[in-house]
Chain A
Amino acid sequence: SSELTQDPAVSVALGQTVRITCQGDNLVTSYVSWYHQKPGQAPILVIYGKNIRPSGIPDRFSGSSSGNTASLTITGAQAEDEADYYCNSRDRSGNLLLFGGGTKLTVL
């Protein structure tokens, strides 16, 4: 199996744009899903597949990928976006799921 690497913490000024990244060798061939999680709550899917937002997720959330790095971009970050963000993807075999270690986003 392989690993997914995320920066532990990122900050952004209110209303600005922030990118949260996820690196892994398997990302060259696998889609990444992104989740946010607030304290005491279950994670919520915000992006999956080729930049698909589930119903109810604001369009300020977008996903992209280049080589072995996937990114979640929040364009015009809001106070309610402050949360932990996790990426995941299938491993090379397609049979296992891998999670990144998570990124704590602070909105200043």
Chain B
Amino acid sequence: QVRLVQSGAEVKKPGASVKVSCKASGYTFTTYYIHWVRQAPGQGLEWMGTIHPSGDSTTYAQNFQGRVTLTRDTSTSTAYMELSSLRSGDTAIYYCARDWELGHWGQGTLVTVSS
């Protein structure tokens, strides 16, 4: 079955960077886009961007342009989301999800930004 397993919770200081991983299994990794979505405490879902694992093409939401970098490692079927220049407003749960329908989601990774 399709599984997306994300890395564990992180605590970062303002100005630092965080890199979250999303390991895929149960399907051919290079076939489907991986999207990243975040959810601040008590708030709604916010799309951050997407990467196609086969050719490494990426598209980012305007709100995150210049601060987020999506990458992948096809040898381990793992996608990565790196967010830089962290601020308190970046405290959120970060999810990866498969393909444009977002039919399969990772369990989420809590990133806390605090001094």
Contact present for A54 and B103 (CB under 8 Å): yes
Decide yes or no: A43 and B101 within 8 Å by CB, A88-B47, A99-B45 being known contacts: no
Contact present for B47 and A43 (CB under 8 Å): no
Q: How many chain B residues touch A (Cβ–Cβ < 8 Å)?
A: 19
Contact present for B50 and A97 (CB under 8 Å): yes
Contact present for A98 and B47 (CB under 8 Å): yes
Q: Which residues of A contact B35 (CB under 8 A)?
A: 97
Q: Mark B8-24, 1 if CB is under 8 A from A, else 0.
A: 00000000000000000
Contact present for B62 and A33 (CB under 8 Å): no
Contact present for B44 and A96 (CB under 8 Å): no
Q: Which residues of B contact A1 (CB under 8 A)?
A: 62
Interface residues on A, range: 20 to 34
Q: Which of B37, B50, B59, B101 has the most CB of A within 10 A?
A: B101
Task: Find residues 70-104 in chain A having any chain B CB closer than 8 Å to their own CB.
Answer: 84, 86, 88, 90, 95-102
Task: Check A45 for interface membership: any CB of B closer than 8 A.
Answer: yes
Decide yes or no: A102 and B44 within 8 Å by CB, A42-B108, A96-B59 being known contacts: yes
CB distance from B66 to the nearest CB of A (A): 16
Contact present for A48 and B59 (CB under 8 Å): no
Contact present for A45 and B102 (CB under 8 Å): yes
Contact present for B101 and A99 (CB under 8 Å): no
Task: Check B77 for interface membership: any CB of A closer than 8 A.
Answer: no
Contact present for B59 and A88 (CB under 8 Å): no
Cα of A33 to Cα of B105 in the assembled complex, Å: 14
Contact present for B59 and A35 (CB under 8 Å): no
Contact present for A42 and B95 (CB under 8 Å): yes
Contact present for B44 and A86 (CB under 8 Å): yes
Task: Check A49 for interface membership: any CB of B closer than 8 A.
Answer: yes
Contact present for B44 and A42 (CB under 8 Å): no
Beyond the given A45-B103, A97-B35, could you list 7 further A-B residue pairs with CB under 8 A, ordered by the A residue number?
A1-B62, A42-B105, A84-B44, A86-B45, A97-B100, A98-B47, A101-B44
* Residue contacts A-B, CB under 8 angstroms, 11 given: A33-B101, A35-B102, A45-B103, A49-B101, A86-B44, A88-B45, A96-B47, A97-B50, A97-B100, A99-B46, A100-B44
